[in-house]
Amino acid sequence: MAHTQDALDDSLADLRRGFHRIPEPAWCEFRTTARLVSELEDRFEPDELHVGPDALAGEHRLAVPDDADLESWYERARAAGVDEDLLSRLEGGYTGAVAVFRQGDHENGPTVGLRVDIDGLPRTESDDADHVPVAENFRSEHEGAMHACGHDAHMTMGIGTIERVLESEFEGTLKVFFQPAEEVIGGGKAMAESDHIEDVDYLLAVHIGLDHPTGEVVAGIGGFLAVSHLEARFTGEPSHAGGHPEEGRNAIQAMATAVQNCYGIPRHSEGATRINVGVVDAGSAANIVAEEAEIVAEARGETTHLMEYMEEKAENVLETAAAMHDCEVSLTLGAKAPSAESDDEIAALVADAAGGVEGVDSVLDHDDLGGSEDATFLMQAVQQRGGKACYVGVGTDHPGGHHTATFDVDEASLRQGVETLAGAIERISRERP
């Protein structure tokens, strides 16, 4: 038994390392999608396999990067030898996949969805010799991109869970949503608006880590903050900073004023709020009064109402900061995701399943995320139709924090996640809570 677990551990670790090497940012997961397709087809015989534009409602994609970025990652995937036919179906940022498996008396069984996300982050991975992916030689091959949030592990758990469920007594339909663009809150809505979600009776989603150690499972995560992305481009007028400073309309001054005052938006008595200006890119040279400044920001709230409070305040700050420095500003309200909670009935089954998994020594009923996730679109879509949803946390010892250059997962947690998810899915088909 231990031997089998070791073998499974090794197999899952290999799979994960393969994904870890090729991180691609949101909507650019060309090579990742191709690899998923090939793993799914090699290992299983899916009843249905929807890829790219067939896997989601393309018009509902949010936060799609510009053509140059898409093209650059597309070409990189082509250069890496991705099958041209498949690649061409993904062109323009239509990534991701939905795999469907039917088993047993599936017509009388439930449809259970499992959502895993697949995108990496625009961050350079640590090249420190102590960083395991360096030491063990599976560091990101894509300089400037990194699986710094564990989505490599999520995809791995998705495939591992399919394997386990197909070996189990599960009767019903299993749909695995390999969702792109979670990090930019970009893909959840597009999958939630597709037909694929419509018949899902139960939905599980999974996240590794989140400051929980290896061996700990959180049966139902809630407290997702609603989130909204904003991009603002300030446009002023350039001038020579020495010769004619008064002729400039300084986009960098507008930006700095906006940043300071966004962080100063009043806290709200009804609950948690957040604001972050995460990216600034402005100006062209030391001696030119900056003509342009761009910022990328996000607002969050414990409820959608609170998120909208922050968003409206931020919009006003951005507009008045522009006016203060005689600049224009164009705002792009980007991706948004609602808040959500896990259903207790499913959480109980997850807890039950986790309790029996070797290596799991702590099962928590509930935890609040404090962050945001666009899995909430899918959870909401299922819950609004009368279905039930649960977001599962699989602890892992991670040396660096999420989104940092030294993030890594303890691969021992992969099997724990797989067995917890597969166990929960089997219990769902049996108990129909």
The reply on whether position 68 binds a copy of itself by CB under 8 A is no
The reply on whether position 72 binds a copy of itself by CB under 8 A is no
The reply on whether position 24 binds a copy of itself by CB under 8 A is no
Q: Which of residues 154-183 bind a copy of itself (CB under 8 A)?
A: 183
The reply on whether position 190 binds a copy of itself by CB under 8 A is no
The reply on whether position 242 binds a copy of itself by CB under 8 A is yes
The window from 51-59, 84-92, 192-200, 222-230 that contacts a copy of itself (CB under 8 A) reads 222-230
Q: What is the DSSP string of 15-47?
A: HHHHHHHS---TT--HHHHHHHHHHHHHH---S
The reply on whether position 250 binds a copy of itself by CB under 8 A is yes
Identified binder of a copy of itself from the candidate list 80, 100, 134, 272, rule CB under 8 A: 272
Q: Which of residues 371-390 bind a copy of itself (CB under 8 A)?
A: 371-372
CB-based contact 34:86 (threshold 8 Å): yes
Q: Is 44 exposed, middle or buried (0-12, 13-18, 19+ CB in 10 A)?
A: middle
- Has 60 been labeled as part of a binding site? no
Nearer to a copy of itself, 89 or 268 (CB): 268
Rounded Cα distance between 367 and 364, Å, is 7
Nearer to a copy of itself, 79 or 285 (CB): 285
Residue 88 in tokens:
């061409």
The reply on whether position 145 binds a copy of itself by CB under 8 A is no
- Has 315 been labeled as part of a binding site? no
- Has 3 been labeled as part of a binding site? no
Identified binder of a copy of itself from the candidate list 88, 276, 332, 362, rule CB under 8 A: 276
Distances (CA, A) of 138 to 22, 36, 125, 316, 408: 9, 18, 11, 46, 11
The window from 46-54, 99-107, 155-163, 235-243 that contacts a copy of itself (CB under 8 A) reads 235-243
- Has 149 been labeled as part of a binding site? yes
Rounded Cα distance between 391 and 372, Å, is 12
Beta bridge partners of 333: 230
The reply on whether position 403 binds a copy of itself by CB under 8 A is yes
Q: Which of residues 278-337 bind a copy of itself (CB under 8 A)?
A: 278-290, 293, 296-298, 300, 309, 316-317, 320-321, 323-326
Sign of CA dihedral 215, 216, 218, 223: negative
State the SS3 of 52-81: HHHCCCHHHCCCCCCHHHHHHHHHHHHHCC
Residue 115 in tokens:
């959502």
Identified binder of a copy of itself from the candidate list 31, 142, 189, 229, rule CB under 8 A: 229
Nearer to a copy of itself, 245 or 359 (CB): 245
Alpha carbon dihedral 393, 397, 400, 404, in 10-degree steps, equals -30
Neighbouring residues of 297: CB distance < 8 A, sequence distance ≥ 6: 229, 230, 231, 232, 262, 275, 276, 277, 278, 314
The reply on whether position 239 binds a copy of itself by CB under 8 A is yes
Rounded Cα distance between 201 and 382, Å, is 7
Residues that bind a copy of itself (rule: CB under 8 A) add up to a total of 76
- Which residues are annotated as part of the binding site? 149, 151, 183, 207, 403
- Which residues are annotated as part of the binding site for Mn(2+)? 149, 151, 183, 207, 403
